[in-house]
Structure formats: structure tokens, C-alpha cells
Chains A and B, each alone.
Chain A
Amino acid sequence: MSKKELNIFKLLSQKPWEASQAAIDNEHDGKTLASSKARLGLRTIMVVSTVIFSLFVVSYSDRMLVHDWVSLSEPWLLWINTAILILTSLVFHMAKIYSEKNNFDKSKNALFLVGFLSFAFLTGQLLVWQHFVSIGQYASTNPANAFFYLFTALHGLHLLGGLFFWGKTTQKLFTSNFNITKTKQAIELCAIYWHFLLIVWFILFGLMIST
């Protein structure tokens, strides 16, 4: 299937009553975009998540200007967690490349590593929470703390949601005669989502360390 491009202006200015356009329209196969529905579903989810995180970032920037703002000092553990998350994305990329080469055994191992690293990241985040609680930095202590807990919690929830689909994908590799095209796509889409969450984390973490 060749690539279809959605040019909204061109599309809206079509003249369906003209015979030449009608001939083209009669040939239309009913799809607007060339992507699969799963890929579009993921994209829609990422757009909605982006809106959510952007609004939080806007709220953060607005709240930050008030005099009572006291920045948090980031513990070194947070840098380790960030490194783990980068590593997870890299491994997921490997898993995708292996699956594209039909090397599903290696892909399976990489996926396991992704799961392990993702849970390690979440545990790490919980340890950071525990660290802050132990030194008396609660969510109510300062708005900067509140945003920190909020951002990490939301990012973690997004990751948990991703892990649900990671589980479904990994499970597929264990069934005999799984659908190769679908599994490849599932691995690719999960990888995209992990990269997306990495970028979200960079933005949130960057915002928190720079202010």
C-alpha cells in the first residue's frame, strides 16, 4: 500500500459534484491514512497524553513564579533511574530490530530484559519517594514537592499501562504459531511508546532539575 498523505485543505476543497472527482471518489477504498488502526490508536493515545503532560507543565511554570516555591534537591538515585530508563529504551529498540530480522528468541530475551528494567525503574522511583518522605519532604510541604510526586506518579502510571501491553506482546511470543506480522507490529508499537515515555521523562526531569 502506498503512502497516503492527509492534506486537510486539499481534502476539504474537493469538488465532489464534478464528474472527474466522482470518478476518483468511486475508487476510494475508505481509508484516509496508510497506517494500521493499532498504530493510529497508539498515536491518538500519545497525543492525549502529550496534552495532559503539557497542561501540567504549563501549570508548573505558572505555579513556579509564586514566592513560596522552594526547589527540590534531586537525589543521585534519580539519575540512576534516568539511566535505567534510557537503557530500557535501547533494549526495546534491540528487541524491535531482532523481531524485524525474525530472530524471535533474541527478541524474547530482550523483551524480558525490558520488563525487568522497567520494574527496576518503578522500584527506583518508589525508593526516591521513600527517600523524600524519610527526610520530611511531603507533597504538602512545598508545591515543588507536590509537582515532583505528581509527575513521577503519572509517568509511572503511564509506564504501568505500557507494561500491560508489554505483557500481552511477550505472551504472544510464547504461543505456538503466533501471527508474525501482528507480533512484529506489537513489539514496534510498544517500543515507540517506551521511547515516548523516555522523552516525557526527559522533559519532566529537565524541568525539575533546571528550576
Chain B
Amino acid sequence: MNMDDEYNNKIETKAADSSSGSYAPPVEKIPAKENAEQDLYHAKSFWTKWVFCQDAKVIGVQYALTATAIGMIGLILSWGMRLQLGFPETFSFLGPATYYQSVTMHGMIMVIYLLTALFLGGFGNYLIPLMVGARDMVFPYVNMVSFWMFLVAVLVLLASFFVPGGPTGAGWTLYPPQAILPGTPGSEMGIVLMLVSLSLFVIGFTMGGLNYVITILQSRTRGMTLMRMPLTIWGIFTATILALLAFPALLVACIMMTLDNLLGTSFFMPEIFTMGEQLGTSGGSPILFQHLFWFFGHPEVYIVALPAFGIVSDLISVHARKNVFGYRMMVWAIVIIGALSFIVWAHHMYVSGMNPWFGFFFATTTLIIAVPTAIKVYNWVLTLWRGNIHLTIPMLFSLGFIVTFVNGGITGLFLGNVIIDVPLSDTYFVVAHFHMVMGIAPLMVVFGAIYHWYPLITGRHLNQTLGKIHFWITFVGAYAIYFPMHYLGFIGVPRRYFEMYDSPYMTSGVGLNQFITVAALIVGFTQILFLYNLFTSWYKGEKSERNPWKANSLEWHTSDFPPTHGNFGKELPVVYRWPYDFSVPGSDKEYIPQDVPSSQVPTAKAERT
């Protein structure tokens, strides 16, 4: 109400001004600049320009490179697991301890240090200021510290590979009491370093998240209302809020488990006999840890998924030359999914045992979350409907995302029901489900986004042939890996097992397991091809023209290409429309960038969204 009053007043005063003047040109009024120009730190030396840098674009690239580097380690660890599962008793370097350590580190690295860091730290830092029309983040110094905290967290995690006992092998969920009991790999130092690393990550992320949220709320350029923001920003914005509220639960759990381990407290540790001796602990609740962990863990799924949803909406719209179908509904869906994601966590704990009504509640909320998610899928398909689909690599990856996400989402509907989850929970069906929905699907978007924005970052295109090879092998390969895994789950092959030996489950599973392993190795090597493409195209790639995809959002309309320090030229752009004005009826232009006033495109009709 207040907001409207204020705007009305402003318009009235402006109108009064123009009527009193002798000549009032019929152009859009440019609102007074209420945001004071930001004082930017101007880097002077190599160190402050590229290393201890306060420019969000460089920080974004730093985040992305660090995340990719640690992600490659996660990839190599997955090869170790697959070699063991496909060809047991063949490789001498793979024992049970190594296997469980690989599982744990692979899971943690991929979910937190790769995907979260890449979407929010990488794309968030690079795109937020550019897309909302700001010169930089609101707290550039804090933003820099955020990256360095992340780097230290990664280094602490890496250090755990070299301590006595190796990294922790407790499973990526780190459930106590086994995570800190002797017998679990890495229960000496590995688990402590893991918990410390996670705590550092949370602290570092909070600093970054502070920047993302406040920059989006307060530092947009003139005319950029929230409902004119690209969906990429909506996705990152909501995901950051989720992260700010969910990561504390991880921090709390990490702190208490560290104390249980180092000081012998019993927050989570029940009365335990281990190796014939009673530990000094009593009365602690391992279930409490599970609640804390999944109170973080489920929003974490959407912290990864929401930026992917947002980015893919933009990619589909740009590469199909059509406006996003139901923009407002897309925003609502993002917000509703974000809110619901905090009341579904216990569906990860059905097999831990709970009051049936408790399970009923969480099954219901889980199924309800399918509604806004399905709306998003329909809207992506309807955006493509009768669009001018260009089968560019970003579009290929976007299509791959839709198919994969639907696939993983539907198995999620099965698993959301207690009665189906209980028998399937500890099988490969679950592994296949969550890799499809939060591994492959978001990665498809990451790749699509990299092919889409690489020209903006470097001024050059990635090699198209290598890109197509990369897409097809990754896409087909992902299905070669995870489709058979659903079947393995159905025939009852349990997950988390180091080796199945001659168990009767495996009679029909052996060949499948070998097939999956070979597929995983091929897909993995293709990612190295992608990295090769990424690095060689940096200086050898085909030069890109300005705005190669003919997109409307502000990041493609900077005065320098690629954008330089300060992002925009002397004047910040002024926004007059949403970023999806493609093939607007009545307009002779194929696309209308966000900063074009309607006086320049008088015949264009406004489109209902």
C-alpha cells in the first residue's frame, strides 16, 4: 500500500513538473537516481586484480575454478567406486576402507563443494550484479573473504586425504555414532577435518549469501522491479535465502558432533559398547543428528535445484526465441518450492523409524511439492511449444535437463510414499533417483549455462564440435549409467555395500554392474574433454560477436564486451521491460533488450505473462 502511494506521489509530482515546463518531450521519464553511485575498490596491482580481488566477476570465476578442481576429484573418486562395484576383487588399491572413503568424499564434494559453490558462488557472483544492473556486490570486501573461506574449506577437506587414517568413510550423511567410532575409516582425523571444513564452508557461504540477497534487493538499477528480473536471479535469490536458513542446521550439527568426538560429550552419542569396552557416553540421540542434518539436507536439494530452474528458464527462452510461458507462475513456483522445502525433511528418515502420523505428514508435504515443480515443467514445455527452437548446445543441454528432471522427479514421487520408500530406501533405486534429479539434471544446466555465458566471460565461443560430442556422450551416458541402476534397485541390490560376493541378488546384476562401470568411465573422460575445450577456447576459441545469442538481459548489453570492472559504462542502464521480449507481436525487431524504452519500439504490444 505504502509502496503504491509513494509511487503515485512521485508520478504526480513529476507530472506537475513537466506541465509547468514549456516543453515536455514524449519520452519515458527517467527516475531520479536514488541509489548513490557505489565506491568501487580499484585494483592497482596484479595481486589485488586477480588474486585478492573484490570484483564479483573475478570472484565468480575463482569460485567456479575451485569448485571444478575439487569436483574433478569427486569424479575420480566415483571411478574408484564404479571399478570396485563392476569388477570386484580386481584392483588391489580398492579395499573396503577406500571404497567407503570414496563414497563419502564423492557425495560431500559433489553436493556441497561443487554444485552449491558453482551455482551460488560461481554463477551467483558473476551474474547477479550484471543481470540486475549493479556495478558490483554491495559488500565487495566481504565477498572476497567469502571466496577465501571457501578455498580454505576446500583445502582442509583435501588435507583430510593426507592425515593418518585418511578421510572419513562415514557416508556423506555422516551419521553418528558410527561416524566417530573406531572401525569407521577416517574416524581418527578425517571426520574432524570434514566437520571443520563444513563449518568453514557455512561461514564463508553466509558472507557470500549476505551479498547476493542484499544486492538483489537493494542494488538493482532503475526500472528493474523484482517482477522484471530474469528467472535466473529469482532462482539464485530464493536458493540463497534457503541456504542462509538451512546451513545453520548443518553448522549446529557439525559443532555438536565435533564436541562429541573431541571432548567426549554425548549430544548424539548413546550408551555404546565398542570392542568389548563401554564408551563414556550415554543418552545422546543419533536421531537428533539426522533431524538437524536433513533439516539442512533437504533444502540443500533445492539450493542446487532452484538456480538450475531459473537458469534453464532463461536458456530455453533465449534459444527458442520465445517469452517464458507464465513468468509470474514460474516465480510463484520458485517461492512456493522454497517454502515447502523446509517441511519435507523427514522423508529422508522413513527407515529410521517414526510415528506413522509423522511419516504421513511428511509424505503429504513431499507429494504437494510436486505440484509447483510440475507447473515449472509444463511451463518449460509450453515455452518451447511453437518456439523457434535453435538446437544450440545450451538448448540441447536444456532439453536434456527437462527430460532428466522429469525422470528423476517421477521416481521421487514413488519414494515420497513411506510404503514404497521403506523397501526401496536402501537399494540402488534411491541412488539412481537422486543422481538423476540432483546430479545429472543440475549438471546439464551447469553445462548449458557455461556454453551460454562463456562468450560473455571470455569473448570467445567454446568449440562447437567438442561441445556436441560432450553433450551427446554425457546425455546418453548418464542414462546408460542410471537406467540400469533403477533395475538393480528393483531386484533388491542394496546400496552402500562394498561387495556383493556370491549373493543371489546379483545373478542378473553382474553384467549390468560392469556395463554401468564402463559407461561411467566413458562419461567421466568426456568431462576431461570438456575441460580441455574450456581451457583451449580461452585463447584459441572463435571470437564471439557482442551478444551472440541475441539475448535481452542486461549482462549482454554492457559498454565493454566482455564486461570490465564496474560492469557498465558511465551510466547504469535503465530498464523498461522484462528480459523475455522475443518475437513481440507488432514489433519489427526480433528481440527487444531490457533497456530499450517503449518510445523506440512504439508498435510493440505488451505481452501478458
Contacts and interface: CB of A to CB of B under 8 A. Distances in A.
A26 B249 contact: no
Interface stretch (B174-182, B284-292, B403-411, B427-435): B284-292
13 contacts: A3-B2, A12-B331, A13-B328, A16-B225, A24-B11, A30-B35, A30-B223, A30-B224, A37-B138, A37-B218, A44-B210, A51-B248, A52-B251
A25 interface: yes
B606 A12 contact: no
Interface in A182-210: none
A77 interface: no
A27 B7 contact: yes
B263 A139 contact: yes
Contacts of B265: 139-140, 143, 146
B248 A55 contact: yes
Interface in B257-297: 259, 263-267, 280, 282-285, 288, 292, 295
Interface stretch (A61-69, A90-98, A127-135): A61-69
Given A47-B244, A55-B252, A140-B264, A14 B227 contact: yes
A5 B266 contact: no
B225 A40 contact: no
B495 interface: no
A187 to B, nearest CB: 19
B608 A17 contact: yes
B214 interface: yes
B546 interface: no
Interface string B212-227: 0110011111111111
B22 interface: no
Nearest to B252: A55
B220 A31 contact: yes
Contacts of B244: 44, 47-48
Nearest to A29: B34
Interface stretch (B24-32, B96-104, B186-194, B417-425): B24-32
A16 to B, nearest CB: 5
Interface of A: 1-5, 7, 10-14, 16-19, 22-33, 35, 37, 40-41, 44-45, 47-48, 51-52, 55-56, 59, 62-63, 66-69, 138-140, 143, 146, 150, 154
A16 B213 contact: no
A26 B227 contact: no
A5 B608 CA distance: 26
B228 A25 contact: yes
Contact of B267 (A14, A33, A41, A146): A146
Contact of B35 (A16, A29, A44): A29
Contacts of B252: 52, 55-56, 59
Of the listed residues B3, B249, B284, B598, the one surrounded by the most CB atoms of chain A closer than 10 A to its CB is: B3
A35 B31 CA distance: 19
B139 A146 contact: no
A17 B606 contact: yes
Nearest to B209: A44
Given A44-B210, A55-B292, A63-B288, A7 B1 contact: yes
Contacts of A19: 606
